[in-house]
A and B are shown apart, each in its own frame.
Chain A
Amino acid sequence: MSHLTMGNRFKKRYGGWISRLRHTVRRRLRVAIPYAMMGVAVLVGTALISEPPRWGIWFSFAALFVFLEFFAVEVNDRMLQSSSIMVIMTAGVIFAVETGSDAAFAMALMAAAGPFVPADFRERRWFQPLANFGQFALAGAVAGLLLDANLDLLDGKITAGNLFRVAVASSLASVAYVLTQTILVRRAVKIVFGSDNLEPWSKMGVLFSGQVVMGLLGGLIGAAIVIARRPAILVLIVGVYGIGHMSLYAFGQLRESHIGSLRGFVKTLEAKDMYTRGHTERVAYFAQLIGEELAFTGTQLEEVRWAALIHDLGKLAVPTELIRKRGRLDDGEYEVMKDHAHLVEEILAEVDFLQPMVEIASGHHSHFDGNGYGGIGHIEGKPPSLESCIVAVADSFDAMTSARSYRMALSQQYALEELRRHSGGQFHPDVVDAFERALNKTRRRWGAPHVNDEEMARRLAEEPELTLRG
């Protein structure tokens, strides 16, 4: 290796990473630039064909719209829920119905201002705001054009009698708004991350109906403000809405704290033992990789992540000398270990929310061919759930590629060969395949390079003066 120059060494070590980064940047540019250009074109186009909005009203609604986008709440894995659609539809109906103004430009401009959230600037993310700018502007313009087409004819003469027409128009506009966004997001994800990663985002449809109902409501509120000509109504609506949004925000934070608490808890307990330090986090990471590779939905991914976090909690109840014991446990010790671990599983399973995750976690010692052992959910002779198989593969891989008191860490190549050797027996073949594919994509290497058998790993641990030459 000494013949390598410094530059070559750098290239050899970081070359793959740099080329991967370039590749991702290129793909992101392929989305961000056309989307942003489309956004500008939409704004210019709608400005040319529309009457400008009354800016005082526009600014009030735009401020509220941007505020709600700021405080969008993550209600499920990667799915953000914001009720800004209600505000934009309220403004849209007011502009569409009032004489001397149009909804298309007003809505496109308002929507385009929404995606610039502080977190993007803080974390120096430029791709997302640019792409979102374009897709929001187009969605706003499409919805605005539909509102203009349906409501312009009323020419400001809106009454309680034609509210049904407003309801239909704002429903159509909301469908168009959400649909445009869904299509554009899916397209962006496909270009940047490839079609394999599309599944979690495709579940945006779950929020679809909720968003359309909110849009309909927003339209009706707009009509109500125009009919009643009482600005006080807006204060009441914003009041109720603000209270609800605060609760939703608090819910989002609590939801984060829930998993964060468990993660912090496990992390501190693991930190006491240098051999298990970081194990749970790594298993959760590997399980997530496999889940994504198998196109799991957001909810499934979340369940697997939780299961990975709790899969070893049972060990907390097991006397440490048993966990660290070198060699085989005798029957009595084995029973103590199983009993303690099962007791913890039973306690956790009493938490309704955790029950499915405990079932997944407790099945991670069950084998694909029905052998092995497990707690709740393990049925002798039956294969465990796919989720349990994922945790099993992730756990075994990390166990092999991490150092133990009696042996050094094994190489990734060895660990993968072991997984393949037991594929169809101990491990689920689809999961092993998916894991290998996902690991190759990350191009990260785990374990000690070149430690390709257990005997060598043991000798290296016992005689540290031995060194490896690659």
Chain B
Amino acid sequence: MVEWRSRNVAILSWVFPATGVAVTLIALPFVDSDPLALMLGGTALVIGSLIGVATSNSGNRFTTGLAVAAAMPLVLVDHNGGVDFAGVVVVYGAGLAMVWALRLARGESHVDLLPTLVRRLAGYYIYALVYNSMRVGIFAKFAGGWEDLLPFGVALLAWLGVEVGLRALLVLGPRELSRTYLARALLHDLNVFLGLTLTGALFGELYPPLKWWALPIALLPYSFAHTAFARFQETKVTYKQTIRALARIPEVSGLGIDGHADRTTEIAAAIAKEMGLGPVQVEHIEFAGLMHDIGRVSLNEPQILKMGYTDDDIARWSAEIIAEAPYLDRVAGDVRNQYEPFRRPGEEADPDISIISRVIKVAAAYDWEIFEKGRTPLQALEHLHAGTAYEYDPQVVASLRRLLTTRGVLEPGSAHPVHG
């Protein structure tokens, strides 16, 4: 399997630039645009593709190159006023081949770089192809800019389809994340994708009448949108950091196992991604994981220690604490049910126990087995397997097993788990 992957990487690493160059050479004789416009377009695509933009933490990488690519079919026109399809193909092919060389020189690995660039090139070509055929086809009779905008809308959908499809299918390295998660994660950043591509189209629409004035006019709304994305992401990161810091309070007080909340969250989020849950659910799992034991702060009450407490009490106290906190309150119910068995004897799986509670239960138990009982990952997993009749959801445990296999920690001799 590993050999097959590395052979693929090696083949793709040469096929990709060769395709870009070959397509460029084939299309070059048919180009109708001004060579200067082609040079400028290509340069803008290269520079744009090196400038990353803020996205959520779903692992997507978008660059301002998307805006340049979206503008190309609207800007490069032939002498009949139609799309200079050959010119567009040349800019995409040559531009991305150059981006490949530059990013490789910057030290990026083939494994990360190739899927992204292959996806981009396919998306760009499909977009240009659909735009061109729609522009000369069913939307040719429209006016007022709609003759550009309507084909653009259809072409954008096709482009998005290619992006989502290839994001899920084309993974070169070891794959911890399910294909469903990868596709959903890309759609989670749809606002960034649309912000960039609409900006490109706006420039394309404004360029013929306004020439270079089109640039500031198109860039200013985008700069507003970009600042807003960046601020939102920054606040989200800060918020998570604050919650993570609060989660450590019972641990530093000696009321919980050191690092338990952090490790449980990491493994729970990884299981969720492996199972193909969406980014929003993954985020909820992260918050629930961090807060699942926060109720332990009550354990420094002498009265409670005297009377004794159960796991259910901890879950109840944790849920009470976070129920008062906006944003976190949405996972209070999941935290409350974290110790409930997923099914009781003679019954079906309890529908009231959410997937978030079931994942947290498995992840917390796994961490407990390793760090409190000193078991190896394999022993811990076997213990969880034994409890899949009632306590632990078999699907979640199966997902944990796949995850640990991918991480290579189940092999004999692996005494310590590898996280992240």
Nearest CB of B to A235, in Å? 6
Given known A-B contacts A247-B225, A317-B249, A160 and B235 have beta carbons under 8 A apart? no
The answer to whether B325 touches A245, judged by C-beta atoms less than 8 angstroms apart, is no
10 intermolecular pairs with C-beta atoms under 8 Å apart: A220-B217, A224-B206, A224-B213, A254-B236, A261-B328, A265-B321, A268-B323, A343-B253, A347-B252, A353-B242
Most central of A224, A267, A348, A354 by chain B CB within 10 Å: A224
- With a cutoff of 8 Å between Cβ atoms, the chain B residues found around residue A221 in the complex are 217
CB of B326 within 8 A of chain A?
yes
- Of B2-10, B14-22, B298-306, B357-365, the segment with at least 4 beta carbons within 8 Å of chain A is B298-306
Tell me the complex Cα distance, A214–B224, Å: 9
CB of B113 within 8 A of chain A?
no
Task: Tell which of B144, B148, B224 touches A244, judged by Cβ atoms closer than 8 Å.
Answer: B224
Nearest CB of A to B292, in Å? 15
The answer to whether A163 touches B213, judged by C-beta atoms less than 8 angstroms apart, is yes
Tell me the complex Cα distance, A256–B194, Å: 27
Nearest CB of A to B232, in Å? 4
CB of A272 within 8 A of chain B?
yes
For the A-B complex, the count of residue pairs with Cβ-Cβ distances under 8 Å equals 195
Task: Tell which of A260, A321, A351 touches B325, judged by Cβ atoms closer than 8 Å.
Answer: A260
Which residues of chain B from 126 to 153 have any CB-CB distance to chain A below 8 Å in the complex?
144-146, 148-149
CB of B40 within 8 A of chain A?
no
Most central of B146, B213, B297 by chain A CB within 10 Å: B213
A contact set with B: CB distance below 8 Å: 83, 160, 163, 213-214, 217, 220-221, 224, 227-233, 235-237, 239-241, 243-248, 250-251, 254-258, 260-265, 267-269, 272, 313, 316-321, 340, 343-344, 347-348, 350-354
- With a cutoff of 8 Å between Cβ atoms, the chain B residues found around residue A236 in the complex are 149, 198, 201-202, 205
Q: How large is the interface on B (under 10, 10 to 19, 20 to 34, 35 or more residues)?
A: 35 or more
Task: Tell which of A228, A240, A260, A267 touches B225, judged by Cβ atoms closer than 8 Å.
Answer: A240
Beyond the given pairs A224-B214, A258-B238, A269-B297, 16 more chain A to chain B contacts, judged by CB atoms under 8 angstroms and listed by A's residue number, are: A232-B146, A232-B148, A233-B205, A235-B149, A240-B202, A247-B228, A248-B232, A251-B232, A256-B326, A261-B328, A268-B321, A272-B301, A313-B246, A317-B297, A340-B252, A347-B245
B contact set with A: CB distance below 8 Å: 144-146, 148-149, 191, 194-195, 198-199, 201-202, 205-206, 208-211, 213-214, 216-217, 220-222, 224-229, 231-232, 235-236, 238-239, 241-246, 248-249, 252-253, 297-298, 300-302, 320-329
Decide if the interface of chain B is mainly helix, strand, loop or mixed.
helix
Tell me the complex Cα distance, A352–B238, Å: 8
Given known A-B contacts A243-B198, A264-B325, A230 and B213 have beta carbons under 8 A apart? no
Nearest CB of B to A355, in Å? 11
With both beta carbons as reference points, the residue of chain A lying nearest to B221 in the complex is identified as A240
- With a cutoff of 8 Å between Cβ atoms, the chain B residues found around residue A313 in the complex are 246, 249
- With a cutoff of 8 Å between Cβ atoms, the chain B residues found around residue A239 in the complex are 194, 198
Task: Tell which of B191, B210, B217, B243 touches A247, judged by Cβ atoms closer than 8 Å.
Answer: B191
With both beta carbons as reference points, the residue of chain A lying nearest to B225 in the complex is identified as A244
Given known A-B contacts A230-B145, A232-B144, A347-B252, A251 and B195 have beta carbons under 8 A apart? no
- With a cutoff of 8 Å between Cβ atoms, the chain A residues found around residue B239 in the complex are 254, 257-258, 261
- With a cutoff of 8 Å between Cβ atoms, the chain A residues found around residue B216 in the complex are 217, 220
- With a cutoff of 8 Å between Cβ atoms, the chain B residues found around residue A232 in the complex are 144-146, 148-149, 205
Tell me the complex Cα distance, A347–B248, Å: 8
Most central of A160, A267, A352 by chain B CB within 10 Å: A160
The answer to whether A160 touches B210, judged by C-beta atoms less than 8 angstroms apart, is yes
Task: Tell which of A240, A261, A264, A344 touches B249, judged by Cβ atoms closer than 8 Å.
Answer: A344
Task: Tell which of B232, B249, B325 touches A316, judged by Cβ atoms closer than 8 Å.
Answer: B249
Nearest CB of A to B319, in Å? 10
Tell me the complex Cα distance, A321–B112, Å: 55
With both beta carbons as reference points, the residue of chain A lying nearest to B212 in the complex is identified as A160
The answer to whether B220 touches A217, judged by C-beta atoms less than 8 angstroms apart, is yes
- With a cutoff of 8 Å between Cβ atoms, the chain B residues found around residue A243 in the complex are 191, 194-195, 198, 225
- With a cutoff of 8 Å between Cβ atoms, the chain A residues found around residue B328 in the complex are 261, 264
Tell me the complex Cα distance, A158–B195, Å: 29
- With a cutoff of 8 Å between Cβ atoms, the chain A residues found around residue B298 in the complex are 272
Nearest CB of A to B384, in Å? 30
Nearest CB of B to A275, in Å? 13
Nearest CB of A to B332, in Å? 11
Nearest CB of B to A87, in Å? 11
- With a cutoff of 8 Å between Cβ atoms, the chain A residues found around residue B214 in the complex are 224
Nearest CB of A to B171, in Å? 28
Tell me the complex Cα distance, A72–B239, Å: 22
